[in-house]
Structure 1
Amino acid sequence: MRLRRSLVRLCLLAVGLSALAAPAAAQSVNRAAIDELNAQLLYVALPLALFVELTLVYAIYRFRDNDDPSPTVDDPALEITWTAATGAILVFVGISAFVVMANPYITPAAAQASTPGDAFADDHEVDVLAYQWGWEFSYPEANVTTEERLVIPANRNVTFRLRSADVIHAIYIPDLGVKQDIFPGRTLTARTHATEPGEYRLYCAELCGSGHSRMNATVVVKNQTAYDAWVENQTATAENRTATTESRIATAR
């Protein structure tokens, strides 16, 4: 009896600890949705895992000297109970996962297909070109192109139009919860809404050749004022380069 009470108390303790193990503040809407799903699954998985392990320990201790074990007695009520409980848990996990996968930031292609017109017409767009072994980022609104450095505004929806120049690549920004394979000959879509300005790492998550390990980039999230200033600076720099080049050509003639 005491052992059973101890098992119950330990299970309750596990539930309490899982509730306290809240993740740190997410840096984007995508990451927040993923972290919330992980937390929900943890609340279910941790008590179950602890219950199973403690039951195993109890069985080993209780029947350790049983040299003449008796057959297990059928208990239909118990079997129905654990089957129903397992079914309920699987339904909960399935619904939780479906809600996250239906999120337009996690699966933007599905959201685009189910919405007439351009569902992301008001988003800030960035054209992303992956190649062996680097990244090129173009900003149609500003007519600016950067390499190995992606700059986006915070607190604004951002859509990435993804293309590959050669083989299969995959854009992966762990801190922003962005991950999407990129196939040659197709334009894929990824989406995010960053909430915390800062610098984050971008990786290629698909083995793409001998230079795969160095196919990284930096993602810089700026507040809107800083982002606008960056765009103006990049535009002015590009215009100065163009003017200098034209001047040199004219002089050479």
Structure 2
Amino acid sequence: MKEWMGKIRNLSLFTLMLLLLSACGKDNLTALVPKGYGAEESLRVIIITITVMIVVFVVVMAIFVYVLMKFRQKKGQENMIPKQTEGNKTLEIVWTVIPILLLIIIAVPTIAVTYNLADETEKEDSININVTGKQFWWHFEYPEEEIQTSQDLYIPVGQKVYLNMLSSDVIHSFWVPALSGKMDVNPDNENTMFIEAYEEGVYWGKCAEFCGDSHSLMDFKIVVVSQEEYDQWVADMQNVDPEFVPESTTAQEGKALFEDSCLSCHAVGNTPSVGPNLSNFGDRTMIAGVLEHSEEELVEWILDPASKKPGNGMLDAPYLQDDSVSEEDAEKIAEYLLQLKASEINPDSAE
């Protein structure tokens, strides 16, 4: 009895720990508070599955307790062999049919939701965004709007947005739990999913497929805004001026250093790039998806990206190989990058 009580106590503590840990982490990084159509449908399937599991658990435990009490060995029956039910066709049919029925109860809504979330009938009339997974960041291309950006995905509230996903290296998995379920991002075949957010806000996403050293740091955000804000953001991004010259001398020197040491991989403006597009870097709230958006963190990232995200592609940057960028240079580059705000670095903003 003491042994059983100890196991029950440990199980209770473990359950409590899971509940406490489930409340930790970034805001909106939960599938239990849906803020989008896909997440809402997924939660419905989760509730059905959990309900079936609870019913099965309760029934099994009730039968277990009943059998344990009714057929326990009594005094004077030490050598008695109870009646055997081996070969009872009725019982065998019952415990075969019941699991099949339970699986059908779970499978029907699961398949229905899966096909529903794979529906592409409205794709041509909706916003389409090409998503590319890389180690360890995300690139977003708006082909119709001719916009290139990274890490922060902007979408309007209340609209279906179709994501066409590919990987440039290994298999990744695109997951924004508050808005929708997971979707594999493969190197060879394109997968498509749609998201539809119900509320404005910032929703955190992660890579849900182990993809290398910094898999757990492959974070990104979906920024859901009103239609008016989205239209303004699109206009600002379309008019980003790659030749933008900052006012301060230090930032101007940083721009020159950036063009000399970083422009071979990164881009400012709506052109493809090997590394993350930095057109609206100053508008973002995180560096590399996980670091505080400050000049100090940015300088450290430029000088030693391996300490922040082991295994990332920036480790092969030429300036890191020949030590051509000093700490002073990194500070100048950081000052320049923090001034790259889409609403401020286009010709229209000066009028």
Q: Which amino acid aligns with 2:82?
A: S
1:42 is displaced (CA, Å) by 2.5
Q: Which amino acid aligns with 2:71?
A: F
Q: Which amino acid aligns with 1:171?
A: F
Q: Which amino acid aligns with 2:104?
A: V
Task: State TM-score, norm by structure 1.
Answer: 0.73
Identify the match of residue 72 of structure 2 among 50, 57, 64. 64
Give the Cα–Cα distance (whole angstroms) in 2 for the partners of residues 81 and 186 of structure 1.
44
CA offsets 1:145-201 (integer angstroms, 9 cap, x no match): 222111111111111111222222221111112321122243321211111221111
Correspondences of 1:180-199 after superposition (within 5 Å): 180-199=183-202
Q: Which amino acid aligns with 2:101?
A: A
Identify the match of residue 208 of structure 1 among 211, 228, 234. 211
1:242 is displaced (CA, Å) by 4.3
Question: CA separation of 1:83/1:206 partners in 2, compared to 1, >3 Å: closer, same or farther?
Answer: closer
Q: Which amino acid aligns with 1:70?
A: P
Give the Cα–Cα distance (whole angstroms) in 2 for the partners of residues 155 and 55 of structure 1.
49
2:93 is aligned with 1:90? no
Correspondences of 1:1-253 after superposition (within 5 Å): 26-66=34-74, 67=78, 68-73=80-85, 77=90, 80-103=93-116, 105=117, 108=118, 111-112=119-120, 119-236=122-239, 238=240, 240-242=241-243
Report the secondary structure of 1:241's partner residue.
Answer: coil
Report the secondary structure of 1:129's partner residue.
Answer: strand
Q: Which amino acid aligns with 2:51?
A: Y
Give the Cα–Cα distance (whole angstroms) in 1 for the partners of residues 202 and 58 of structure 2.
38
Give the Cα–Cα distance (whole angstroms) in 1 for the partners of residues 50 and 136 of structure 2.
37
CA contact (8 A) 1:179 1:190 kept: no
The structure richer in strand per residue is 1
CA contact (8 A) 1:178 1:192 kept: no
1:217 is displaced (CA, Å) by 0.8
Q: What is the percentage of aligned positions where both structures have the same residue? A: 27
1:43 is displaced (CA, Å) by 2.6
Structure 1 unaligned spans of 5+ = 1-22, 249-253
Task: State TM-score, norm by structure 2.
Answer: 0.54
Structure 2 unaligned spans of 5+ = 1-30, 247-254, 256-351
CA contact (8 A) 2:33 2:178 kept: no
1:80 is displaced (CA, Å) by 4.4
Q: How many residues are treated as equivalent by the alignment?
A: 212
CA contact (8 A) 1:178 1:190 kept: no
Tell me which moved more, 24-33 or 66-75: 66-75
CA offsets 1:86-117 (integer angstroms, 9 cap, x no match): 333222222122111211x2xx2xx45xx7xx
